[in-house]
Structure 1
Amino acid sequence: MATHATTIVPRFGELDPYNHVNHAVYVSYFEAARCVALESADLALPDLSNQNVQIVVTNLEVRFREPATARDTLRVETELAERRRASTRWQQRIIREADEAVLVEADLVAAICDNDGKPRRPPPDLMGKLEALLAG
């Protein structure tokens, strides 16, 4: 699949005293963009929960390169880098649209769990739908 893109405009409450997006907010942006990408593949989180499936982040690495400010329009690019037996690996980037600068990058692993948080094998249709998000 091509990269899934989600546009985000920072809000006043997400800024620090220096008019930069607070570093913790980027994790929220990544989460929101993954949810939108999953919905684009017909994998909305409420529907998964109804099937006793959760996609739970187990590892997250974030690299900060440049700050975003209140006047920036941001594009969060999301790619499913790898499907494993009961987990997935994602790569994401936050790009300032004005100059295409990569501001923040994230690599994360998400496990497939049941609604009690116990690891489980994903239903076959879930892995098939994830195929639409697989990079390359």
Structure 2
Amino acid sequence: MVRETVLRVRYSEIDAQGHVNNANYLSYFEVGRVEWLRDAGHSYREMEERGYGFVVVEALVRYRRAAYFDDELKIRTEISDLSRASVQFAYEVLREDGLVATGHTRHAYVDLASGKPIRMPKELDLLGSG
């Protein structure tokens, strides 16, 4: 399942050169991931209430072109790899004139009380969702 989320670049997200600061792309990825999960019938809040969550174990961003204040960006998010112990989301950040950035984040499932890795909880069922 591919989920598209639209957002507009805020002034606070640009740097001294006038384009989106590179670190903000990880926040954009997070917006896409949260909305992907919501569309799949899950939420971070529900996962936390059940005692488990995701921790980022890997993040990669490839910058293709600059984005600027007030640009409307589309974040495409999908699962690119899934195992019993982790999930990887892939992202594309697009503007109407083309690709701005691509990347991925890999997340381990963890028990929030102990911080220890766990297998994907049955009720999460990302295989059935994606």
Q: TM-score range by the shorter chain?
A: over 0.9
Alignment TM-score, normalising by the size of structure 2: 0.92
| Matching residue of 1:21 | 20
| Matching residue of 1:49 | 48
Does 2:123 align with 1:125?
Answer: yes
* Deviation, structure 1 residue 130: 4.7
* Deviation, structure 1 residue 118: 0.9
Does 2:109 align with 1:112?
Answer: yes
Aligned-residue CA RMSD (Å): 1.3
- 2:74 touches 2:93 (CA, 8 Å); kept in 1? yes
- 1:78 touches 1:92 (CA, 8 Å); kept in 2? yes
* Deviation, structure 1 residue 16: 0.9
Detail structure 1 runs of 4+ shifted over 4 Å in the superposition: none
2-structure distance, mates of 1:90, 1:24: 17
- 1:6 touches 1:33 (CA, 8 Å); kept in 2? yes
| Matching residue of 1:10 | 9
1-structure distance, mates of 2:63, 2:36: 22
| CA shift digits 1:2-57 (9 cap, x unpaired) | x1001010001111122201111111111111011111112110100011110111
2-structure distance, mates of 1:53, 1:12: 35
Q: How does 1:24-103 map to 2 (within 5 A)?
A: 24-96=23-95, 98-99=96-97, 101-103=98-100
1-structure distance, mates of 2:74, 2:29: 10
Query: How many residue pairs end up in the alignment?
Result: 129
- Structure 1: gaps (5+ residues): none
- Structure 2: gaps (5+ residues): none
2-structure distance, mates of 1:92, 1:130: 18
2-structure distance, mates of 1:13, 1:125: 38
- 1:54 touches 1:117 (CA, 8 Å); kept in 2? no
2-structure distance, mates of 1:88, 1:33: 14
The answer to which structure has the higher strand fraction is 2
